[in-house]
């Protein structure tokens, strides 16, 4: 088992450890109880996990009060679900001496983290991610939130976990689409921070798709190291941490415009293609990287086609409502080259003219 320390220099008490391994899920609950003696534990998971062996493996012979989010997925990622969970915790008379455990994918982690951030003005949360997207990204870093009826993650709070446990064996039960699209966050990490890592993903794609433990553990560790280095430098997304949003600005807009029928990873893949088109228009990239990425996404069976039901106006409207927007327009993260984000005047996100974004969306809508 590998352990990665995520340090928060501005608040050392918020630092935490990420444990990465294979087949150790049954050992996690005893570790949590040992680390948090006297804490009342409350488990948040979803209907998908409840159908798998993971819930039973995690609990063993023990029982915990729990809330099962249903339906699983982005449709339940809203304030109504948060209220239901909090009221369930109140019915069980849980106080500030409780701790929340999130067992599931990104939606479970985001909801549980947000609940922990606001319940009784804050209780600890332990993240146990079970999907490629949550193990790569959402379980680490402390960003939590839920969607409004208008935009993605409109309600949110920073809540660093007390600990993160990544067992790559939990990826065995993911369907192909969830597994493959979740790898887009790993590809993003290679693009923004480590060209060698991106090449590793390309070279070892066959073994990764076969879900072999060795490459999956390597990916999990590498993702944690990249994200930890960024979070440590900018824990509350004032500047550098925005690089983790590469491909997400237009990606989130497409995801919202689809009413979350498009999976997050697929939407981010579309957003990464959009970012590359903008980079070409800015003279920062050539056609080669764009074609390589399209080929890589094709190998993952990720469609880059935006459904005909989604219009340019809907995407632009969602872009304007991006949570990072100032004066109704968000800054964009761009690459200087593969593995290195463009940084000018000590800023990692930049203004992109509306005309350029509109032209880019037009190109996306024409993709087959």
Catalytic residues: 121, 143, 185, 227, 237, 241, 245, 248, 252, 264
Residue 177, φ and ψ in degrees, nearest 5: -65, -45
Residue 290, judged by CB atoms within 10 A of its CB (0-12, 13-18, 19+), counts as middle
Instruction: List all residues 6 or more positions away from 169 whose beta carbon is below 8 Å from its beta carbon.
Output: 22, 23, 25, 213
Three-state DSSP state, 158:
strand
Q: Please give the Cα distance from 4 to 83 (Å, whole number).
A: 33
Residue 140, φ and ψ in degrees, nearest 5: -110, 135
Concatenate the DSSP letters of all residues of 113-131 into one string. HHHHHHGGG---EEEEE-S
CB neighbourhood size of 182 (10 A): 26
131 backbone φψ class: left, alpha, beta (φ>0; ψ -120 to 50): beta
Q: Please give the Cα distance from 242 to 251 (Å, whole number).
A: 14
Q: Please give the Cα distance from 211 to 171 (Å, whole number).
A: 8
Say if CB 55 and CB 46 are below 8 A apart.
no
């Amino acid at each position: 088992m590998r352990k990665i320390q995520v340090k928060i220099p501005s608040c050392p008490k918020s630092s935490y450890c990420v444990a990465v391994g294979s087949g150790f899920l049954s050992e996690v609950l005893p570790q949590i109880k040992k680390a948090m003696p006297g804490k009342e534990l409350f488990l948040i998971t979803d209907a998908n996990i409840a159908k798998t062996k993971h819930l039973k493996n995690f609990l063993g012979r023990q029982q915990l009060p729990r809330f099962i989010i249903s339906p699983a997925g982005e449709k339940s990622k809203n304030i109504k679900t948060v209220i239901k969970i909090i009221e369930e915790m109140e019915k069980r008379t849980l106080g500030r001496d409780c701790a929340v455990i999130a067992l599931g994918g990104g939606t479970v982690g985001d909801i549980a983290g947000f609940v922990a951030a606001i319940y009784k003005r804050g209780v600890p949360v332990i993240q146990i991610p079970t999907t490629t997207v949550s193990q790569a990204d959402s379980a680490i870093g402390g960003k939590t939130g839920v969607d409004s009826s208008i935009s993605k993650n409109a309600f949110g709070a920073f809540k660093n976990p007390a600990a993160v446990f990544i067992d790559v064996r939990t990826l065995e039960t993911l369907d192909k689409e969830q597994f493959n699209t979740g790898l887009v966050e790993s590809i993003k990490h290679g693009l923004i921070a480590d060209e060698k890592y991106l090449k590793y993903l390309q070279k070892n794609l066959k073994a990764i798709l076969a879900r072999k433990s060795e490459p999956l553990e390597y990916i999990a560790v590498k993702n944690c190291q990249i994200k930890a280095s960024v979070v440590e430098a900018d824990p509350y997304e004032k500047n550098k941490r925005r690089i983790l949003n590469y491909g997400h600005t237009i990606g989130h807009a497409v995801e919202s415009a689809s009413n979350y029928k498009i999976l997050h990873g697929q939407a981010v893949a579309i957003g990464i293609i959009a970012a590359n088109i903008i980079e070409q228009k800015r003279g920062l990239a050539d056609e080669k990287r764009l074609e390589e990425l399209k080929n890589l996404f094709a190998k993952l069976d990720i469609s880059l086609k935006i459904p005909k039901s989604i219009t340019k106006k809907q995407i632009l409207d969602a872009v304007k409502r991006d949570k990072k927007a100032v004066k109704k327009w968000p800054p964009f993260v761009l690459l200087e080259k593969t593995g290195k984000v463009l940084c000018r005047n000590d800023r990692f996100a930049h203004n992109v003219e509306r005309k350029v974004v509109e032209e880019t969306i037009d190109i996306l809508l024409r993709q087959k």
